[in-house]
Amino acid sequence: MNYFIKFMIVSLIFFLGACTPSGEPVGKKARMELVWETATGLDVPESVMYDPNNQVLFVSNISGKPTLKNGRGYIARLNLDGTLDTRVWVGGFNAPKGMGIFGDTLYVTDIDRVHAIDIPTAVVHKTWDVAGAKFLNDIAVDGTGVVYITDMATKTIHVIKEGQLDSFLVLEYNKPNGLFMRGSTLLVGTADGLLKIDIPSKKVVLEIVHPGGIDGLKPLGRGQFIVSDWKGKIEIIEKGRSPVLLMDTSAQKINAADFEYIPDKKWVIVPTFFDNRILAYHLQ
């Protein structure tokens, strides 16, 4: 009898632990509640990047049209309550978009260039000109500091390894945009759906069919991903299941560009592009 009781207690503890919010898939009743929004000061914010070491948010501001080389683009820095820490933390860019962090370096795309910014000093310490690039977009960095970059117009993924820029792969899928690195697998959001690329073999698999475009891309775990489509829609997608709609502001012409997701807070932080705000939501 004592053994049976102990077994039941252990089983119950295991069951409850397996069903905690951090471990279970997000269901169809998932929703987002607004936590905060920025006031004025941003100019066509395209991407948000969380810096856990400094507890700040970097925001790339296009400041004009997405393909215009006007030298007015900049990176802003926000506090985690949405207040503006530094409006023009680093400036002088041409429509900056996707970002990635490795150590004390922030990488940012800039139409046909990639910049490496030293975070402690806010100084650009290196720039790579990408020959033939037309619309560099998102960035992902692996655990060793190798940087991957999408070119949405040429369907090319570029790579920076040991300081050297090279072309990594030309895709057959349309408009590669959002990136996320998971071990030796590169996840790529395209207009056709979510790709998985095995880095050593360069094998490409269309993991989840999802037409319409994937701008922001973040994993939730257990095969689920949060994605945005730029026009204003944010969804949870997974293989073999219908998307779960979290938000759709496309009718209001409020965009949802390259968002950030902070798992321990369950915050989805959305740049609204031409709406010129950052909106932080709690995922429930």
Average pLDDT value over all residues in the chain: 92
Going by C-alpha positions, the residue among 171, 195, 167, 169 that lies closest to residue 181 is 195
Residue 4 belongs to some domain of the structure: no
Is-contact 242 221, C-beta < 8 A? no
Residue 14 belongs to some domain of the structure: no
User: Residue 27 has what pLDDT?
Assistant: 66
Phi, psi (degrees; rounded to nearest 5) at 15: -65, -45
Alpha-carbon distances of 198 from 166, 207, 250, rounded to whole Å: 17, 12, 34
Residue 272 — pLDDT band, cuts 50, 70, 90?
very high
Each residue's pLDDT tens digit, 9-59: 333 333 333 333 344 566 677 899 999 999 788 999 999 999 999 999 999
Each residue's pLDDT tens digit, 194-212: 999 999 999 999 999 999 9
Residue 16 belongs to some domain of the structure: no
Each residue's pLDDT tens digit, 100-132: 999 999 999 999 999 999 999 999 999 999 999
CA dist 36 and 61 (Å) reads 19
Provide the H-helix boundaries in the chain: 2-18
Residue 134 belongs to some domain of the structure: yes
Residue 12 belongs to some domain of the structure: no
- Domain region containing 87: 25-283
User: Residue 118 has what pLDDT?
Assistant: 98
Each residue's pLDDT tens digit, 128-178: 999 999 999 999 999 999 999 999 999 999 999 999 999 999 999 999 999
Q: Is the dihedral of CA 181, 205, 263, 47 positive or negative?
A: positive
- Helix, strand, or coil (residue 2): helix
> What's the one-letter identity of residue 279?
L
CA dist 268 and 150 (Å) reads 22
CA dist 245 and 237 (Å) reads 9
User: Residue 10 has what pLDDT?
Assistant: 33
Q: Residue for token digits 């077994």?
A: 7
Q: Give the CATH number for residue 203.
A: 2.120.10.30
Tokens of residue 67, six digits: 């393909």
The pTM of the full predicted model, rounded to 2 decimals, is 0.90
- Edge to edge, the sheet with strand 244-248 lists 217-221, 224-228, 233-238, 244-248
Residue 10 belongs to some domain of the structure: no
> What's the one-letter identity of residue 121?
T
Checking if the pLDDT of 3 tops 80, the result is: no
Residue 6 belongs to some domain of the structure: no
Going by C-alpha positions, the residue among 228, 214, 222 that lies closest to residue 240 is 222
User: Residue 28 has what pLDDT?
Assistant: 72
Domain count, the chain: 1
- Helix, strand, or coil (residue 47): strand
> What's the one-letter identity of residue 108?
V
Residue 252 belongs to some domain of the structure: yes
Checking if the pLDDT of 92 tops 50, the result is: yes
Region 269-275: mean pLDDT is 97
CA dist 178 and 186 (Å) reads 10
